[in-house]
Amino acid sequence: MALPSLALPGQLLGAADTYLPGPGTHIHAQKIYASIAGPVTSTPSTPSTTTPTTTPTPLLSITRPPTLSPGILGPSSGSGIPLLPTLSSVVLARITRLTPRSASCLILAIDSTPCREPFSAQIRREDIRATEKDKIVVSESFRVGDLVRGTVISLGDQASYYVSTSENAYGVVVARGESGRVLYPVSWREVRDPVSGVGERRKVAKPF
């Protein structure tokens, strides 16, 4: 399926096992759709540090044309007031780095509205889940490249927001294994390869 040069909201762009959803897109039933109107771009994503030999999966994004009216496309478009995370905002973020104490991520969407530019954020170890916090292992909850749904719990400092995935509705919504295939959830703490059946640990978001 060839990528369209210009997409309309709700238009099918491609399969989730071929592309990664970026700003201006969303995933449903393992397919990627346009969330906003605009030109479609495909750029190489950053490969996971756990699979250095894997070819990066293209990242699909839609950029809002700057000439469109802010009243049409919302507060983050054109020259309107930038959309910023606030306390209790529900965000979609991509994991970029893991340490024993936290996971770094980039906020790509706020309350279902794609961001013009990503915001840096942190998910601290104690904010990953609500129970047995002393037993949490960050690398068993997230992997670099995972898409995570969470909520903003602190505006932090000028460099980073703080996000929590402790509620059942929050956690990993899209994950890829070392094979590059999209993994499917089998429980709140495990995802599995649809072909090999190999399982991996994650803090999985409860489906809506």
pLDDT digits (tens, 9 = 90+) for 115-125: 888 899 999 99
In contact, 91 and 162? CB cutoff 8 Å: no
12-15, strands of its sheet edge to edge: 12-15, 31-34, 25-28
Give the number of other CB atoms < 10 A from CB of residue 64: 21
Domain coverage including residue 29: 6-62
Strands 113-124 and 161-164: parallel
Q: Does 73 fall in a domain?
A: no
- Report the b/e string of 36-53 with b at 16+ CB within 10 A: bbbebbeeebebbeebee
Domain ends where: 62, 80, 107? Answer: 62
Residue-wise pLDDT tens digits, 64-112: 655 434 433 344 444 344 678 889 999 999 999 999 999 999 998 888 8
Q: Does 174 fall in a domain?
A: yes
Q: Does 77 fall in a domain?
A: no
* pTM summary value: 0.65
Q: How far is residue 150's CA from residue 118's CA, in Å, rounded to a whole number?
A: 15
Domain shared by 29 and 130, yes or no: no
Phi-psi region of 159 (alpha: psi -120 to 50; beta: other; left: phi over 0): alpha
Across the chain, what does the average pLDDT equal?
82
Tell me the backbone φ, ψ of residue 24, rounded to 5 degrees. 85, 5
Average the pLDDT over each of 7-11, 17-21, 109-113 and give the range with the smallest value.
Answer: 7-11
Domain shared by 48 and 116, yes or no: no
Q: Does 71 fall in a domain?
A: no
